[in-house]
Amino acid sequence: MLLPTLLAAFIAGASVIPGADVDSPADDRLMFQKLEAATSALAEKGAGPLRREDRLEQCKRTRTDAVRLTAKPRSGTPLEGADIYRRSAQASVLIGSAYKCDKCPKWHNTLASGFAITDDGVIATNHHVAAGATGEAMGVLTFDGRFFPVVEVLAANKAHDVALLRINAKDLAFLPLRDDAPAGSSVRCYSHPANSFGCISEGIITRYFKMNEPERNGSVFMQITADYARGSSGGPIIDPYGNAVGMVASTSPVFTATPSPHAAAKDAKPTTPSQQMVRHNCATARALLDLIRPQ
């Protein structure tokens, strides 16, 4: 439960975008506490509109005809970085899923990112977020502190790691989807990495590739250089015009073994792995669009 003084401070600043400038810094503790308290209350009372069993069953849906996109991708003059941050923050959400471990009686939360693709409550995130096996109640928190329980998984695709959730909300800010951004294009990532609310990073699309890991079946993913970390899953990848061209999915660190300078000696030490780079793998906007296209 949030302290009354913290809650009052939160409400007083609800009209600003957390993290956008020096006068409106993000209060990570407050944002995450609010989400965790809300999802835990739903789980404790068994009052969530979407039971775990139903959510997992709905994750098997591969298409939906319940989504109507109302805006075409934006083009024209590129946006300033501050405007991209503002639009991304307004459309993005923090996603929490309440669960209990086997070590204590308290409720815990897994935390992830997501973003609205319509103004009437359709939220894009990853399949691995929507299909979390232990979550008893799931909800989202908007930048201005509004909490909405997840009421339905509209469609999902495990191989492409995409899912569409439904919340009962109206007049949401949202990001148009663009599925043709070429490699080399500038992009930004907006997400909530490692309990840090509302972080943006910059980079480029390095390539598109077929991921041949188990359960991916050669699905096409995007790699980018913009940085992110745990908790960023489902965060939008945004082009200079404010369109979502992809979505955070995973990272793949690349290591090399550095030979010991005493490798030839009898008392040679084991080689030490050295990280060379981190590949940032993203689901594509096309994979999201495929969830709402007729088969």
Residue with tokens 């909530």: 192
279, β-bridge pairs: 252
The reported pLDDT for the residue numbered 48 is 87
48 alpha carbon, distance to own chain's centre: 21
* Cα–Cα distance measured from residue 183 to residue 246, given in angstroms and rounded to the nearest whole number: 12
For residue 35, what are its two tokens?
Answer: 């989400």
* Cα–Cα distance measured from residue 243 to residue 264, given in angstroms and rounded to the nearest whole number: 55
Class of 24-254+278-290 in CATH: mainly beta
The reported pLDDT for the residue numbered 264 is 55
For residue 276, what are its two tokens?
Answer: 């060379």
The reported pLDDT for the residue numbered 267 is 58
DSSP, collapsed to helix, strand or coil, labels residue 166 as strand
The per-residue pLDDT string of the chain (295 residues; one tens digit each, 9 = 90 and over) reads 343 443 433 333 346 899 999 999 999 999 999 999 999 999 999 888 999 999 999 999 999 999 999 999 999 999 999 999 999 999 999 999 999 888 888 899 999 999 999 999 999 999 999 999 999 999 999 999 999 999 999 999 999 999 999 999 999 999 999 999 999 999 999 999 999 999 999 999 999 999 998 888 899 999 999 999 999 999 999 999 999 999 999 998 898 876 555 555 555 566 678 888 999 999 999 999 999 987 6
The reported pLDDT for the residue numbered 11 is 38
Kindly give the residue spans of alpha helices, DSSP state H, lying in the chain.
Answer: 4-12, 28-45, 52-58, 81-91, 127-130, 285-290
User: Could you tell me the residue ranges of all domains in the chain?
Assistant: 24-254+278-290
